[in-house]
Chains A and B, each alone.
Chain A
């Protein structure tokens, strides 16, 4: 059974940092291009960024609103995807999903509020 399990969400203040993790099982994580997607309360989906597989270069791409503040990385030995979020803003409040190989996790809520 394929599982993607996000963790690390919570409440932080504007300007603070937070790191999310996504642990994968049931598929070949090493070969997967992995993506972070977020959804603000009551809003649509927003693509955050992606990391390619190491065999495809392991490079990252980001959406404009998070470029320079967010960093995506992966540890293939742990089947884990990461999202490091710095200089958080109130508009970063959302459920954050990881996705890869057409599978999605259940999401983790990040709330940025003073």
Chain B
């Protein structure tokens, strides 16, 4: 079974830039893995930020961007806001199934 790995935690200053990554145990993440990114705040349901590597639903702020970086999927936040403090999860395709990463707890401090 594919294991998807994310940084357990990251800290960023308000206004700064941070990149979260998502790696697959089976090798390089490509667009064929259809990377998705989700944000979840305490006590709330997740919400979709990025789908299919870099596409954004209408509600995703422009400061969020998705890409492929060094064989991993990446989520970059530019100009971080205090309200971006949350857990972030990536999701990769693995054959017919999908697998979530363990999540990254982003602290804005």
* Residues on A facing B (Cβ under 8 Å): 35, 37, 44-47, 49-50, 61-64, 97, 99, 102-107
Contact = CB atoms under 8 A, between A and B. Distances in A.
A99 B89 CA distance: 15
B98 A45 contact: no
Interface of B: 1, 38, 40, 45-48, 51, 57, 87, 89, 91, 96-103
B90 to A, nearest CB: 10
A63 B97 contact: yes
Nearest to B90: A45
The A contact surface, by secondary structure, is strand
A104 B97 contact: no
Given A64-B1, A104-B48, A106-B45, A45 B103 contact: yes
Nearest to A61: B96
Which interface residue of A50, A61, A105 has the most chain B CB atoms within 10 A? A61
Contacts of A103: 48
A47 B22 CA distance: 16
A39 B87 CA distance: 13
Contact of A44 (B1, B48, B96, B103): B103
Given A44-B89, A44-B103, A45-B89, A61 B97 contact: yes
Given A61-B96, A102-B51, A44 B45 contact: no
Nearest to B89: A45
11 contacts: A35-B98, A37-B100, A44-B100, A49-B97, A61-B98, A63-B99, A64-B1, A99-B48, A102-B57, A104-B46, A104-B48
A37 B98 CA distance: 10
Contacts of B1: 64
Nearest to A95: B45
Contacts of B97: 47, 49, 61-64
Nearest to B100: A45
B45 A105 contact: yes
Given A47-B91, A61-B96, A107 B103 contact: no
